């Protein structure tokens, strides 16, 4: 006789298993290479169709080549099988291939158990509220499939009626999950080791090439959130600097990290205190409002007042700062002047000639040269667009004299080259500008689409002065934000109701980041502060965890006890009859069936013979002659047992 685990899988349970694997594949789509998703989805669909309509098994000669192809393709794509990305691809691929040999209950249990693990492992890539909700929804089909495979359960009558059972299991696990989240000791480093170095999050780079910002400018995901001690600064002061770039090779600007020099002096006027929550970027730069006065903890200020963290930002990073929005930065340039005048030879001859001509025309008036460049952008027929024409080797010549279209990278790069050609120290600064002020949450939401590039020029007596040439072409980019800069090109982004929904939804995301993703070891130690306990040590956490587990188990047992199936009414009537017969001296033997027992009682009690035989037939008919529970005949049996006398009758 075969074991229950080797029982062939019925069609409805197989549907649930296939649906569970489809949920895993769908959840991992953002992490998988496109070619792997395009291969696994048809394999899963074809296997389901063949099993449902032909009851056909997959031959071994096909399964082994598919397994070899999976391993070789992952190694070829990633270079190895180790790390989050290749490990996820391998796990999802093996799960789909497991469906090819899923024929028994044992196979289904193994596949669904590993599916639950794979779904939870997806949180290693993304811990946002939407990702967590996606994992929870993805768990429903595997849990429902495991529920349908329990011994003694009837096959699911309907696929959609079985899914709520997975929801019940998920809800039952929530109390223990909450206890584990609050009370299990927090680690100081990630459980799964360092993040994959090849994986990059969307964010600013330490180099800038015209047209390189396009990916960021259409990325609607949050980059950082800023809360201010007082009222927020006006839009024209919402410049968050990240990289200050000095090197230019004719096509790209590059940031040079100078870690062994003190920050340049700044004479601060108006200052602002604020707090930033920075999304993970896998980089070390910490965006700051304009010119920071000091570095946040676990970070340092570079020479040009760029804030650099000691380690890459791989998780949500909170830091508080004070910055100057009115200032004189590096009033004396000193020996570093040549650094900000460097231009490669042999590039952009027309641009260099224009800068030299301005110097000849305006002499030593640097401010007049700056205004001449801004007037060129304002009156020279330039257009702001996210889809500019391609530029050649002399990119700035092509932009200034031919295409006349681009976005912030083009304008800041061209302006800086013009200033250097005219002998004015200049540099490119990248970061973010603008943001949406969320009055309900009282914070400024800055998205990746708010990425921006501007210029700084050094003027005698004023130091480094911010000049944003993009504002000369499209002032709305500064005053109204990134969405207003490109009219008609991003209608989905500029939709008022969609922006309102999206920005208000961010309040929920911010709460999630602060309360869930931001729940670290420090906050765990202060968990019991409202109860007068300053520092919650490991022993206290263990005691609370044990007590919570006991309470959860007790609550579960109480719930099971209340939800237990009521005793069969016919069997209850028989037990009542057994007690009456025992009082008459005829007790039921262990292992004795109801037919044999009642026949023996009828022979032992001749006065009740006919009544006992009638009760026996009545009971057996109720127990074995009907496919489901009945009510009317059971009541008749109950009345007959109730009226059965317990006084021995002598004939």
pTM, to two decimals = 0.66
Of 190-194, 206-210, 406-410, 626-630, give the lowest mean pLDDT range.
190-194
How much is the pLDDT for 374? Answer: 94
Average pLDDT taken over every residue of the chain: 83
Average pLDDT value for residue range 525-529: 74
**Higher-pLDDT residue of 445, 169:** 445
How much is the pLDDT for 651? Answer: 47
How much is the pLDDT for 593? Answer: 86
How much is the pLDDT for 217? Answer: 60
How much is the pLDDT for 487? Answer: 54
How much is the pLDDT for 476? Answer: 78
- CA–CA distance, 535 with 577 (Å, rounded to integer): 64
% of the chain residues with pLDDT over 70: 87
Residue 213, C-beta contacts closer than 8 angstroms, at least 6 positions apart: 407, 408, 409, 451, 453
Which residue, among 429, 290, 432, 457, has the nearest Cα to 372 in the 3D structure?
Answer: 457
Write the secondary structure of 376-397 as one string of H (helix), E (strand) and C (coil): HHHHCCCEECCCCCCCCCCHHH
pLDDT digits (tens, 9 = 90+) for 482-491: 665 555 545 5
pLDDT digits (tens, 9 = 90+) for 292-347: 999 999 999 998 999 999 999 988 889 999 999 999 999 888 777 888 999 999 89
Q: Is the per-residue pLDDT at 481 higher than 70?
A: no
pLDDT digits (tens, 9 = 90+) for 151-200: 766 666 666 677 777 787 788 888 888 888 888 877 654 444 444 433 44
Strand partners, 463: 459
pLDDT digits (tens, 9 = 90+) for 582-629: 888 888 888 888 888 889 988 988 888 888 888 888 888 887 766 555
Residue 442: left (phi > 0), alpha (psi -120 to 50), or beta? left
- CA–CA distance, 251 with 395 (Å, rounded to integer): 7
Could you give the residue numbers annotated as active site?
408, 452, 468
For 328, the 3-state DSSP assignment is: strand
Q: Is the per-residue pLDDT at 67 higher than 60?
A: yes
How much is the pLDDT for 293? Answer: 94
Residue indicated by tokens 């768990």: 139
Which of 109-123, 141-155, 192-206 has the largest mean confidence?
109-123
What does DSSP assign to residue 403? I
Is there a contact between 291 and 329 (Cβ–Cβ < 8 Å)?
yes
What does DSSP assign to residue 429? E
How much is the pLDDT for 454? Answer: 94
* CB count in 10 Å sphere of residue 504: 12
For 279, the 3-state DSSP assignment is: coil
pLDDT band at 8 (very low <50, low <70, confident <90, very high): confident
Q: Is the per-residue pLDDT at 492 higher than 80?
A: no
Exposed / middle / buried, residue 138 (Cβ in 10 Å: 0-12, 13-18, 19+): buried
């Amino acid at each position: 006789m075969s074991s229950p685990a080797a029982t062939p899988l019925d069609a409805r349970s197989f549907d649930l298993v296939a649906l569970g694997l489809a949920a895993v594949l769908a959840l991992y789509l953002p992490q998988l290479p496109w070619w792997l998703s395009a291969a696994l989805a048809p394999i899963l669909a074809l296997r389901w169709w063949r099993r449902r309509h032909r009851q056909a098994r997959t031959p071994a000669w096909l399964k082994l080549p598919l397994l070899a192809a999976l391993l070789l393709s992952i190694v070829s794509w990633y270079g190895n099988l180790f790390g989050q990305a290749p490990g996820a691809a391998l796990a999802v691929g093996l799960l789909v291939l497991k469906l090819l040999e899923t024929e028994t209950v044992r196979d289904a249990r193994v596949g669904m158990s590993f599916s639950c693990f794979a779904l939870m492992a997806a949180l290693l890539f993304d811990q946002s509220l939407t990702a967590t909700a996606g994992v929870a929804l993805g768990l429903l089909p595997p849990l429902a499939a495991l529920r349908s495979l329990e011994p003694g359960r009837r096959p699911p009558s309907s696929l959609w009626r079985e899914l709520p059972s997975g929801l019940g299991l998920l809800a039952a696990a929530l109390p223990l999950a909450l206890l584990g989240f609050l009370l299990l000791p927090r680690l100081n480093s990630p459980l799964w080791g360092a993040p994959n170095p090849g994986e990059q999050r969307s964010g600013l780079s330490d180099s800038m090439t015209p047209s390189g910002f396009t990916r960021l400018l259409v990325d609607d995901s949050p980059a950082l959130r800023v809360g201010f001690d007082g009222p927020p600064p006006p839009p024209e002061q919402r410049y968050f600097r990240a990289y200050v770039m000095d090197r230019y090779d004719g096509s790209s600007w590059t940031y040079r990290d100078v870690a062994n020099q003190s920050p340049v002096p700044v004479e601060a006027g108006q200052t602002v205190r604020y707090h930033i929550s920075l999304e993970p970027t896998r980089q070390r730069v910490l965006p700051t409002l304009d010119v920071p006065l000091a570095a946040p903890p676990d970070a340092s200020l570079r020479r040009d007042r760029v804030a650099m963290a000691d380690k890459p930002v791989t998780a949500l990073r909170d830091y508080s700062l004070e910055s100057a929005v009115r200032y004189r930065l590096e009033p004396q340039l000193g020996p570093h002047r040549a650094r900000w005048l460097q231009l490669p030879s042999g590039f952009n001859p027309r641009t260099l000639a224009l800068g030299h001509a301005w110097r000849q025309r305006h002499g030593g008036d640097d401010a007049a040269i700056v205004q001449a460049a801004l007037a060129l952008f304002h009156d020279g027929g330039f257009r702001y667009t996210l889809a500019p024409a391609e530029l050649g080797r002399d990119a700035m010549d092509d932009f200034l004299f031919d295409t006349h279209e681009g976005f912030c990278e083009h304008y800041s790069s061209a302006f800086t080259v013009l200033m250097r050609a005219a002998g004015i120290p200049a540099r490119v600064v990248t970061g973010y500008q603008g943001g949406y002020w969320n009055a309900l949450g009282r914070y400024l939401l800055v998205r990746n689409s708010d990425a921006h590039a501007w210029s700084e020029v050094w003027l005698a007596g004023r130091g480094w002065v911010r000049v944003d040439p993009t504002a000369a072409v499209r002032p709305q980019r500064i005053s109204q934000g990134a969405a207003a800069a490109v009219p008609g090109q991003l209608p989905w982004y500029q939709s008022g109701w969609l922006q309102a929904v999206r920005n208000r939804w961010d309040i929920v995301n911010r709460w999630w980041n602060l309360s869930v993703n931001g729940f670290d070891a420090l906050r765990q130690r202060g968990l019991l502060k409202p109860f007068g306990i300053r520092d919650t040590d490991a022993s206290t956490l263990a005691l609370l965890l044990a007590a919570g587990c006991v309470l959860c188990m007790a609550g579960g047992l109480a719930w099971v006890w209340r939800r237990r199936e009521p005793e069969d009414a016919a069997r209850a009537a028989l037990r009542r009859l057994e007690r009456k017969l025992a009082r008459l001296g005829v007790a039921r033997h262990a292992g004795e069936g109801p037919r044999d027992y009642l026949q023996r009682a009828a022979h032992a009690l001749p006065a009740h013979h006919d009544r006992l035989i009638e009760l026996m037939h009545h009971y057996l008919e109720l127990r074995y002659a009907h496919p489901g529970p009945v009510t009317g005949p059971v009541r008749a049996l109950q009345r007959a047992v109730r009226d059965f006398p317990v006084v021995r009758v002598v004939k």
